[in-house]
Amino acid sequence: MKLDKNGNVGFSAEMPVPSLASQDHVLVKMHSAPMNPSDCYNMAGTYGPQPDKYPHVAGFEGSGVVCQIHENAPENVKALLGKNVSILSFGTYAEYATTHFSMIITLPENVSLEQGAMTVVNPLTALAMITRAKELGATAIIINAAGSQLGKMAIRLALKDDIIPICTVRKAENVQPLKEEFEGLHYVFSTHDPENFDMLMKETCKAKKPSVCLDAIGGESTGKMVSFLADKGTIIVYGGLSGQPLAGLNVADILSRYCRVEGFLLSNWIPEQMKDPVAYFTFIET
Ligand SMILES: NC(=O)c1ccc[n+]([C@@H]2O[C@H](COP(=O)([O-])OP(=O)(O)OC[C@H]3O[C@@H](n4cnc5c(N)ncnc54)[C@H](OP(=O)(O)O)[C@@H]3O)[C@@H](O)[C@H]2O)c1
């Protein structure tokens, strides 16, 4: 699947096999690749890293087998040859993709290539953001769009770390299934009835004092979620599902209550972590 410079998405059977950009890159024979929201935004040209040359093969993650390494590859990269891996890359919707070794997770033997195709983007994002919430001292966190795959991963990780998740969904029928999916998840509120939603969120947040919100929605939702945060709370914006600019922020929440807005993007986070590769690989292996 490829993208031209005018944003047209097309299919081509004939693209050259990509070459290795450095001794730290490997070539992967692709098996499976998912379509995440970020792939759709990328193809629409609205968000995230954009291609630096066209035609561009779409697809940010997927799984496959490492089939080629550079002749001067270091030992840790040589060890990847023949391994089943999950990768982050520009161009996974093709038979072959290259990637830097920092963007690879080696799949355990009991995980199939199909199961492993989504091991990087959502799991690593959820893990990184819950780690950030812990750094910020959160004992309770708000998770909106909580029925998303990433939202569910964040719920699971929060519960494991004894952080209370306070979840929001937009459809009433999604409240009970989400509660039933996670033992220990008590707070799931639907925005479909705004008055009731506000009342339940205010009451719960007054009692549990969430100091972090993971915001996948943006738009007016961001300001609303900040209003529910404890003083000095942080909203981590990591998605724009509403398609709207951040809005509804109450000046007093920022000035008097010292709430803060920060962003998270996995493709920026990984290079930051790679400044300390040992710590990074220890982190993703745990
Ligand atoms: N920043 C990063 O590095 C990074 C990395 C990975 C993912 N993400 C972001 O994480 C988000 C979730 O990804 P995913 O793959 O887990 O998504 P997903 O499984 O496809 O789920 C999308 C969810 O969003 C809900 N939703 C859609 N539009 C909404 C709106 N306007 N208001 C409220 N809820 C809405 C849907 O609810 P319904 O069930 O009601 O339809 C659904 O539960 C996306 O925004 C994605 O871009 C960011």
- The residue ranges of every structural domain in the chain are 2-118, 122-267
Distances (CA, A) of 75 to 55, 65, 70, 202: 33, 18, 11, 55
Task: Note if the pTM is more than 0.85.
Answer: yes
- How far, in Å, from the CA of 183 to the mean position of ligand 1? 22
Ligand 1 center–CA 75 separation, angstroms: 38
* Ligand 1 atom closest to the CA of 267, numbered from 1: 3
Q: Which atom of ligand 1 is nearest to the CA of 150?
A: 16
Work out which ligand 1 atom sits closest to the CA atom of 36: 15
Return the closest-CA partner of residue 224 out of 200, 148, 173. Answer: 200
Ligand 1 center–CA 153 separation, angstroms? 12
36 C-beta closer than 6 A to ligand 1: yes
Q: How far apart are CA 121 and CA 266, in angstroms?
A: 7
The b-or-e profile of 217-252 (16+ CB within 10 A means b, else e) is bbbebbbbbbbbbbeebbbbbbbbbbeeebeebeee
Pocket test for ligand 1, best of 150, 156, 213 (most atoms within 8 A of CB): 150
Of 34-48, 116-130, 271-285, the range with the lowest mean pLDDT is 34-48
* Candidate CATH numbers 3.40.30.10, 3.40.50.720, 3.40.50.460, 3.30.390.30; the one for domain 122-267: 3.40.50.720
Atom 21 of ligand 1, nearest CA residue? 148
The per-residue pLDDT of the chain, averaged, comes to 93
Give the distance (Å) from ligand 1 centre to CA of residue 216.
6
7-16, 37-46, 106-115 — which is least confidently predicted? Answer: 7-16
The amino acid present at 237, given as its one-letter code, is V
Per-residue confidence band for 53, with pLDDT thresholds at 50, 70 and 90: confident
pLDDT at 43: 81
Rounded to the nearest whole angstrom, what is the distance from the C-alpha of residue 189 to the centroid of ligand 1?
17
> pLDDT class for 49, splitting at 50, 70, 90?
low
In terms of Cα–Cα distance, which of 82, 88, 93, 76 is closest to 40? 93
Q: Cα(70) to centroid of ligand 1, in Å?
A: 37
Report how far ligand 1's centroid is from the alpha carbon of 265 (Å). 14
63 token code pair: 């799984």
Whether 229 contacts 235, CB under 8 Å: yes
- Closest among 116, 135, 137, 282 to 209, alpha carbons compared: 137
Compute the average pLDDT of residues 89-101: 94
> pLDDT tens for residues 138-193?
999 999 999 999 999 999 999 999 999 999 999 999 999 999 999 999 999 999 99
Please provide the CATH number assigned to the domain covering 2-118: 3.90.180.10
Q: What is the pLDDT of residue 274?
A: 87
Over 90: is that where the pLDDT of 8 sits? no
Q: Which helix (H) or strand (E) holds 34?
A: none
Ligand 1 lined by 90 (C-beta under 6 Å): no
pLDDT recorded at residue 93: 93
- Kindly report, residue by residue over 101-151, the tens digit of the pLDDT: 999 999 999 999 999 999 999 999 999 999 999 999 999 999 999 999 999
Residue-wise pLDDT for 230-239, tens only, equals 999 999 999 9
**Spatial distance between the Cα atoms of 281 and 285, rounded to a whole number of angstroms:** 6
Cβ-contact 212, 236 below 8 angstroms: yes
pLDDT at 233: 98
Q: Whose CA is nearest to atom 28 of ligand 1?
A: 241
List phi, psi (to 5°) of 231. Answer: -55, 145
Please say if the pLDDT value at position 7 is more than 80.
no
